Chains A and B, each alone.
Chain A
Amino acid sequence: MKKHTFNRIEGSGTWVTIQLDGESLPAVQGEPLAVAILCHSTDALRTSAHSCSPRSPYCLIGSCFECLATVDGRANVQTCLIEVCAGMRVNRQAGKREFG
C-alpha cells in the first residue's frame, strides 16, 4: 500500500471497500470514515460553505465540522463520527449543500 501521513496499525481489522467520488478505496470496517479518507489522501475533502476555501478533517472528535461529506446521498455528514461499512458511497462537497 502507498504510504501517507496517516497509516493504520497493522492488523487493524477486516478490510472492506468504499467509494469516494466513484473511486474504490480500501478501508477497515468500523473505523471512523474520516480516518479512512485521510489514510487514502490528505487532499481537501470539501470546500467551505461560505468562502469556498479548501477543508479537510481536523479535530476528529465531532467539534469542528471540517470533515463534512455526502455519505450515501446525505449531505453534511460528519465523517469523523460515523463508522465505515462495506460499500459506503462518499462524495466530496463543494460549498453549501443543496436540498436533497
Chain B
Amino acid sequence: MNTPNFLAAASAGFAATLTQAADAPAVSRLVAEIQSIDDKVRGPAWQNAGPVGAPAVKPLAGLLTHADFEIARSAKRALYQIVRHAGRPGSEKAAGAVERELLAALAADRTAAAKRDLLWMLSEIGGSGAVSPIAALLTDVELREDARCVLQRIPGSKPIGALKKALAKAPADFQAALADALRARGQKVRGHPSLKLAPTKQTSVKAEA
C-alpha cells in the first residue's frame, strides 16, 4: 500500500471509530426509548431512528421478539427507518453497513417471525452479498417463501442464479413458486405450470334452496 492510500485508509478508520464512539450514546438512548412503555417516548424514538444507522441494528433486532408486542413493533419500525434512511440515493456506504448488520442478525438464533422481518428489510437494501445467505433459507419450510420473494426483488443476475439452483433441487410443493419468481424476473422456465388460477378453498356455506 502506498503512503497516500495508507493515510487515507487510516484516516477513514479513525473517522469510523470516532463515528462509532459518537454513535454509542445515540444507540443506547434509542434502544432504551424503544423499550419505554410510554408511546409518547417510544413513538418519536422509532420515527427518528434512521440516522442512528447500522450500529443500532443488532440491539433492535434483539427486540423484535420482545414480550410486549408494542415494543417489538416499535423495534421493527425503527429498523425500517434505518433501512430507508440508509437506502437514500448517494449513501451506498451506509446501506452496505446496514446490510451487513441485517445479515448478521439474520444468521443469529431468532424466531421465524423475526427472520421474516429481517428478510423483507433486506429486500429493500440487500445487494449481491446478501444473496447467498438468503438463498440458504430456500430450504427452510417456514422461511422459504419469504426468501423467494426477497430474491425476486433484489436486482442483478445473482438472485436469478440462486433461484435457478434452488429450483433444480426444490421439493415438488415449492417448485411452482420458484418457477414463478424466475418468470417474474424475465426468465423462461420449462414446465411447472402456474397454479395461480387453481381454486383450493371450499366454503361450508350452502346455497339456499
The finding on whether chains A and B are genuine partners in a shared complex, rather than unrelated, reads no
